[in-house]
Amino acid sequence: MEPGTAIRCEMTKWGDRPHWRFDGVYLGADEHGEWLGFPAGTHNRRPGYEFHSEVACVTLVQPDRWHLPTFQAPGIWCDLYVDVASPATWDGDVLRAVDLDLDVIRLSDPLPEKVYSAAVGSGRVAGEIFVDDEDEFAEHQVAFGYPAHVVEAAQASCDELLAAVRAGLPPYDGTHERWFVELSRLTSV
């Protein structure tokens, strides 16, 4: 795929239940995988909820990995939001993956005035790295019938991510910054 190609992301929940849908742009690839960009104002929607993103973000698609890391530009409550998900696959210019509930999140430091209510209510602090939605993951294992190998792969990915993000290992070491520059270059008019 060529840099600048319009792409679409279509996430589902287990059992082909609709989840997030949004459009973006293919930025390119490096040793970590393929990078996608989403300018500020990108329309995100799922059943029952939609919004326009406040800041730009870039997402890394790594072959055969059970997660999708999204790096957020400054100005919102988190600078990193990693969805634990089935390995993403391309169908032409559409990226598909199954969201498996668990998220590894790094709060922004400093936190902006407008902060994610769950972070504030739980006593979280600026720069904190944590796993979110463990309760949802446990509930959905039963409600949606996740196979044992999916549960094991999702949990292993979550544990690996938490350690990598805390240690600042690549690509969680600032590698994403160059892709924000590329997003700006490709989307500026």
State how far the Cα of 91 lies from the Cα of 6, in Å rounded to an integer: 13
Query: In the structure encoding, which two tokens stand for residue 95, read together?
Result: 């990226």
**pLDDT above 70 (res 115):** no
Integer angstrom CA distances of residue 19 from 13, 112, 123: 6, 27, 28
Do the beta carbons of residue 137 and residue 156 sit within 8 Å?
A: no
Q: Is the dihedral of CA 159, 164, 166, 171 positive or negative?
A: negative
Eight-class DSSP state of 55: S
Residue type, 12: T
Do the beta carbons of residue 130 and residue 105 sit within 8 Å?
A: yes
Q: What are the structural domains of the chain? A: 6-182 (2.40.380.10)
For 178-187, the pLDDT digits (tens) are 999 999 999 9
**pLDDT above 90 (res 118):** no
For 73-92, the pLDDT digits (tens) are 999 999 999 999 999 999 99
For 143-164, the pLDDT digits (tens) are 999 999 999 999 999 999 999 9
Q: Which of 26, 20, 28 is nearest to 44 (CA)?
A: 20
Helix or strand holding residue 35 (H, E): strand 33-38
0.85 exceeded by pTM? yes
Q: Say which residue the tokens 């922004």 belong to.
A: 108
